[in-house]
Structure 1
Amino acid sequence: MPAASDVECQLHNALPDKPAPGNANAQPRKNLAHRVIPASRGARFLCIGTILVVLVLLITFLAFWFSADALFIVPVLRTTIPGKNVDPAQWTRDGTVIRSVPNWIIDMSVENRNKFAMTVEDLAVTAKFATRENRNVLFGKPTAQQSRVTVHVPAKEETDVKIELDVHWDLADHEQANALASLLVLCGISASSLPAALNVPDELPDFSRSTPGIMKWDLDARKVTGFLGLGMTPPPGELVVWDQVHGAASGWGGRVHFPEDWTALAVCPNSIANARTAAAPSEHIVRLANLTMQACEETGKCR
């Protein structure tokens, strides 16, 4: 083969080398840190600081969540009539409705044992009392003005709340009529003295198998919040011994089944009745029994 001429060699050497494929627009590579963290030193410190704050808040949030405790609630039923050795209530009648005058009070203590404040929004409390095992009847509901209250409890503190209670029973409603009849029996009225429609042995207080008359509290709230709005809202339910909800993020717990929780002690302290006593009923309880009898006889609507 003939050798290349000097002119061809000079032309070949003058041509530039072709760039390697893919390297024409190559840029210096950056690692992940350079891509995420700003180049500016001030912005870099701000970014790192923000990340640390978020991590601290997240860890704190989780720590509070797993260590959160339900509120410790202690409601007590009280009369609004001042003085000692006086009848705690007076009674009026309107048709089949028997009403307490004046209203009663739920004197409630709400203790927050957490390290953060808590707020209970639109709290509703209903007072009931037990007549026999697994049977509770109505005592009263909050008045229309206080049907829902909001309670704020600072960390490691206790807040007192007074809720006005509307106490009345409509004898034309079977459940309410049974509640009033049960209260009369608890306060010393003989079941045989009740109107026939209300003398239902299977529904009246049972002193042989349980301790009737213990107050029961049903609670409900639209929202319960803690640290940074942490949701701790329990479902509507009955107040239970606090140990049953201790360590839970939500629940209705507190002190129950103490002497102050006995309905008869609040309504008829001068004639606390049980199956073994023959104490005479208080005058206001006798009046309540008479109004009940009149309502049943005059309207014929007792159920």
Structure 2
Amino acid sequence: MSIIAADCLNFVTDEHTTTLGDYSGWADLNRDRPPLSGLILNRHSWVFDEPGVPGFDNYGPDSCEYFEFQARTKMNQYDVDGAYVDIGKGLHYIEDLGCPFHTSVLNGQAHHLAYEEWVSSYWSELESALWVDRYYRIEDPSDASEYLAWYSHQKLARICDIMNTPNWESTPALTQEMVTITRDLLRETAMMNMGMIDYVTRYNSPNTIGENRVAISDYTTSYAYIDNIACSENMYLCTYITHTYIGDLEIWLGWKDESSPTYTETKIWDHQGDGTDNLALCINAVGFQNIHDWRLRVTDSYGGDQGYIEEFYDLVG
């Protein structure tokens, strides 16, 4: 699932996509190495409607957050390879919390293994649900993980009802309902997986974070910067601009070596679009492994229409 999430995001390199897959099973293979102090075993649950077992349950979201924080720390230290290792470890908890049986201590646990075996047997009908074109923008990994657990828990009772029905797998209506429920769970899990990768790998320009945005005024040049960030052989530099006549605009993407005082630039927009409102651009930057500083330069060449640089960010693959 983590490999498909990386493929859907496009900017993740083949090497780092493989890393995500290699480490997505780490938590199961290292039960004796829980990431959080006080844990007895490496556990992957968030239990609703029951108290859980102290030292065992309700640590899935915090464990996911631990690895996301570790990954971001490594990213900020320019250790992109190490960051993707920790992202892979953290995604395991997302994938488990997307399974309703990880949200209960007792309810339906007799079906836990049987459900996972059924999912495996029906994978050819289920897998396409993972190929999504949107994902969650995550601000707090633990809160996001808890939300996914809550979402999947809503499906638990119905899954158990179906599996308690004799010969349910030979009943087309029940089988199709199970497919529909499971595809919904997989889709939510996929969007959360992609969001977690985005959380670690995104660098936003301070000029456009939160309530900040850069004004674009008539006959002036506006700037947004991203400095001192990690880099990879594959990155996406993206911007979103609100403007009532994008044909007024010239836009350059610039980069510089840390030792250089000046930016090298390439023009990425040259008055196209005429009177169309607003502009979203993503530029694939390949071969910039040693570039940590970027600049967006926007010139409004005419009068009468104005706007803002709403976002300028980098995704590190």
Alignment TM-score, normalising by the size of structure 1: 0.20
Greater helix proportion: 2
Flag the structure with more relative contact order, 1 or 2, with Cα contacts below 8 A and sequence separation at least 6. 1
Higher strand share: 1
